[in-house]
Structure formats: C-alpha cells, structure tokens
C-alpha cells in the first residue's frame, strides 16, 4: 500500500509525524459512507493530500491538527502509526479558527456540526462580518444562524439534525412576527408533513403575518395571533391564497379580452367619418389614453 504517496506544492515542507502525537482541536462525527470511501482511496492509491498541523509549545501533545481528521482516522484503521503532515506556524486561536473554517467549507457536513462551528467562532468574539470573511458566507446568513442558536430553537435544531427540514427552512420558520411559537410549530408541521414545501410555506407565512399586522392596526379586525394556529390553518391559508390569485388572473384575462373587443370596435367606428364627426360635435371624440394608444396601433 502506497500510504505515503502524496501530492503537494514544491514549496510545501512535508514531514512524517507519529499519529499519537497529534491533538485534534475540533473533533467531529463522521459520515460512515464518506469515511469508508476515504479509507478505500488511501488503501488503493495512497494519501493524495497531507494533513495540516501546527506545533504549539506547552500543549498536551507536540502537534495540533488543523485539517485532516478523516485522513488520520483512516490511517489508524489501516494500521498505520505515522502520517505525512504539512506543519504551519500559527497560534492556538488561529489553529482553532482554521479548523472551524475548514469544517464549514467542506461540501458534506452535518447541519448541527455546521451550526456549532459558527457558534464557536461567535464565542471567540468574532462578529457576523468577520465570520463572513473567514467562511465566505454572507453576514445576513451568519446573523440568522446565530439568532437561531441564541433563541434556543431546540425543536427546529433537532428537526435540522434529523434532516426533516433544511437549515434554510428552519431559519425562515424561526423569523415570525413577535416570535409566535404556535405559528412556528404549525409551519414546521406543515413542512414535515409534506403538504407545503419551499415557496409554498413562505407564501402562507407571509399571508398569515400580513393578516396579523392588519389585525393590530384595525380595532374591529380579529387578531389571528390570539387564536392558536395549526398546520391545517397554514395549508388552508396557502390554498385559499392560490385560489385568490388564480381568480385574480382569470379576471385580469377577462378584462383584457373586453378591452381588446372594445378597442377593436372603436377602431372600426373611428373609420366611419360621419360617426366620428357626430362624436366630435357632441364633444365625445376624446377617450382614455390607453384606448387611444391601442387604436393608433391598429
């Protein structure tokens, strides 16, 4: 097995170091399928990229891992005691940050692991703008994640971890008017049941919140917030909104057809000089600008 065969830049200095001398700063659970693929790849073609570590004096172990936990575990499973490593010079905080950012940047990661990495960066004192620069995520998205964590949305976080709802939907559900918990639960149930997905859920949410705001401004209106909202209410709201919009489109198409008929009829009448002179005599020869423009096109 060509375990030590690695690809790297000419400027990189690669050393072979004992695996038991490496401290893992940010350990995480692994996807078993992905891990098996890593082991098999190393078994057949060798290590294509060395791990990255730093040396911190006064620590428990001589080296601290920045990137490559999966490769270390794969080497252990293959019975190896040493591994190729690129050693860089950073302090402990920088090493932890690099490790967190590396986890965030991975194409495949668990949702809760991703959230925890963002939270760790925030706990280190970095605001959304700094975290944004380090991770490549927009500041608004970072802020939404931190808000979700700060508000202790355990129910939503658990659903994300169980892959019942995506993180983006969890963030959408969490941002309700006055943090209406009943509405959040109803939205989550509607999504998990499969009755509403993506933009459908968002549209239903907007309609209900718009009604809540109207209820606050009009004393004679019923405030829907006072009534407990269920997933059934969310679905019904969406279906009624779709029906309302469909009716609106039908009415608009009908009116368009009427206007086309009227403009066509007026175009024919306008060609009748005697009729047009009669309209002019009665000061009825002017017409709405829209119709006049339509006639000029004919």
Examine residue 288 and state whether it is found in any structural domain, yes or no. Answer: yes
Examine residue 237 and state whether it is found in any structural domain, yes or no. Answer: no
pLDDT at position 1, please?
45
Residue 137 predicted with pLDDT over 60: yes
Domain end (from 108, 132, 160):
108
Examine residue 141 and state whether it is found in any structural domain, yes or no. Answer: no
- Rounded to the nearest integer, the mean pLDDT of the chain is 77
Examine residue 48 and state whether it is found in any structural domain, yes or no. Answer: yes
Domain end (from 80, 108, 136):
108
Residue 183 predicted with pLDDT over 50: yes
Residue 4 predicted with pLDDT over 60: no
Examine residue 290 and state whether it is found in any structural domain, yes or no. Answer: yes
What is the helix (H) or strand (E) element at residue 53, kind and residue range?
strand 51-55
- Least confident window among 3-12, 91-100, 146-155: 3-12
Pairing of strands 63-67, 51-55: antiparallel
Distances, alpha carbon 262 to alpha carbons 277, 289, 290, in Å: 19, 14, 12
Residue 108 binned pLDDT confidence (cut-offs 50, 70, 90)? low
Examine residue 279 and state whether it is found in any structural domain, yes or no. Answer: yes
Q: How far, rounded to the nearest angstrom, does the alpha carbon of residue 30 sit from its chain's CA centroid?
A: 22
Whole domain around residue 261: which residue ranges?
Answer: 256-297
Pairing of strands 82-88, 51-55: parallel
Residue 11 binned pLDDT confidence (cut-offs 50, 70, 90)? very low
Which residues fall within 8 angstroms of residue 290, CB to CB, at 6 or more apart? 259
Q: Report pLDDT digits (tens) over 200-248.
A: 888 888 888 777 666 544 444 444 444 677 888 888 888 888 888 888 8
pTM attached to this predicted model: 0.45
Domain end (from 44, 77, 108):
108
Examine residue 280 and state whether it is found in any structural domain, yes or no. Answer: yes
- Rounded to whole angstroms, the Cα distance separating 112 from 123 reads 16
Examine residue 144 and state whether it is found in any structural domain, yes or no. Answer: no
Which pair of structure tokens corresponds to residue 105? 């940047």
- Rounded to whole angstroms, the Cα distance separating 95 from 67 reads 9
pLDDT at position 235, please?
85
Which residues fall within 8 angstroms of residue 276, CB to CB, at 6 or more apart? 269, 270, 285
pLDDT at position 18, please?
94
The CATH number of residue 51's host domain is 3.90.1530.10
Number of compact structural domains in the chain: 2
Q: How far, rounded to the nearest angstrom, does the alpha carbon of residue 31 sit from its chain's CA centroid?
A: 22
Q: Report pLDDT digits (tens) over 68-100.
A: 888 999 999 999 999 999 988 887 777 777 777
A 10 A CB-CB count for 30 gives: 17
- Rounded to whole angstroms, the Cα distance separating 97 from 117 reads 9
pLDDT at position 76, please?
92
Cβ atoms of 158 and 191 within 8 Å: the answer is: no
- Rounded to whole angstroms, the Cα distance separating 50 from 258 reads 73
């Amino acid at each position: 097995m060509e375990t030590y065969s690695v690809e790297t830049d000419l400027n990189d200095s690669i050393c072979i170091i004992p695996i038991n001398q490496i401290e893992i700063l940010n350990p995480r659970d692994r996807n078993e399928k992905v891990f098996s693929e890593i082991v098999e790849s190393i078994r057949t073609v060798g290590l294509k990229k060395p791990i990255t570590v730093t040396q911190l004096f006064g620590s428990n172990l001589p080296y601290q891992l920045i990137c490559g936990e999966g490769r270390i575990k794969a080497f252990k499973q293959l019975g190896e005691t040493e591994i190729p490593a690129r050693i860089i010079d950073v302090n402990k905080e920088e090493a932890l940050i690099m490790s967190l950012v590396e986890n965030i940047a991975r194409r495949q990661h668990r949702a809760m692991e991703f959230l925890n990495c963002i939270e760790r960066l925030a706990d280190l004192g970095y605001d959304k703008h700094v975290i944004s620069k380090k991770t490549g995520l927009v500041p608004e998205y970072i802020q939404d994640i931190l808000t979700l964590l700060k508000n202790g949305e355990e129910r939503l976080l658990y659903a994300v971890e169980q892959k019942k709802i995506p993180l983006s939907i969890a963030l959408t559900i969490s941002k309700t008017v006055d943090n209406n918990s009943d509405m959040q639960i109803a939205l989550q149930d509607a999504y998990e049941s499969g009755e509403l997905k993506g933009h459908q859920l968002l549209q239903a949410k907007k309609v209900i919140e718009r009604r809540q705001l109207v209820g606050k401004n009009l004393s004679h209106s019923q405030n829907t917030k006072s009534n407990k909202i269920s997933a059934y209410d969310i679905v019904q709201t969406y279906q009624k909104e779709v029906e309302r919009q469909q009716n609106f489109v039908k009415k608009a198409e009908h009116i368009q057809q009427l206007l086309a008929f009227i403009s066509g009829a007026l175009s024919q009448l306008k060609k009748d000089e005697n009729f047009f002179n009669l309209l002019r005599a009665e000061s009825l020869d002017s017409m709405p600008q829209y119709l006049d423009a339509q006639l000029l096109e004919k």
